[in-house]
Amino acid sequence: MSINATLIGQMITFALLVWFTMKYIWPPLFDSLEERKKKIADGLAAAEKGQESMQLAEKKAKGVLKEAKEQSSEIVNLAQKRANELVEASKDTAKKEGERLIQVAKAQIEQERQQAKETLRKEVSALALQAAEQILSAEIDKTKHQDLLSKISNQLG
């Protein structure tokens, strides 16, 4: 095989093509690849940082939610305690009021009983006086006396 001028020309053309490509095409191509590589690395770093901040925010949100639940349960417990206190206070007040009403009713009953006794005393004394007057005004006769006593006892009851 012989090396002729065509082959040498092709080799020179190829060498010029390689030199031109290495001089003018490869550097911008590698620069854009490096820039793309840097953008991807920055994007991954930002995504990782964003994920970490999201996890931190989730932990903080869980903490706030837990604190809010604790506060709400504390508020509910305080409300129940206050409601129980109010119920007990109402029971005590109602019991005292009931006892007071019972005392008032007993006093009223006692007063009415005393009035009834006084009324009965007055009526009995009036009847006794009336019977004594009738006995004294009538003759002292045993049968009349007996009739008057039976009449008086019929009037009494």
Mean per-residue pLDDT, 43-71 = 94
Rounded Cα distance between 37 and 153, Å, is: 133
Q: Among 103, 97, 155, 86, which Cα is nearest to 126's?
A: 155
> In the Cβ-directed half-sphere of 85, how many Cα atoms lie within 13 Å?
6
The reply to whether 21 falls in a domain is yes
Tell me, yes or no, whether 99 lies in a domain. Answer: yes
**Does the residue 1 lie in any domain?**
no
Q: What does pTM read for this prediction?
A: 0.43
Query: Confidence class of residue 33 from pLDDT cuts 50, 70 and 90?
Result: very high
Residue 125 near residue 108, CB atoms below 8 Å: no
Indicate if the alpha-carbon torsion angle 139, 143, 146, 150 is positive or negative: negative
Note whether 144 and 138 are within 8 A (CB): yes
Is a pLDDT exceeding 80 seen at residue 136?
Answer: no
Count of the separate structural domains present in the chain:
1
CA distance linking residue 90 with residue 130, whole number of Å:
59
Domain that holds residue 19: 6-156
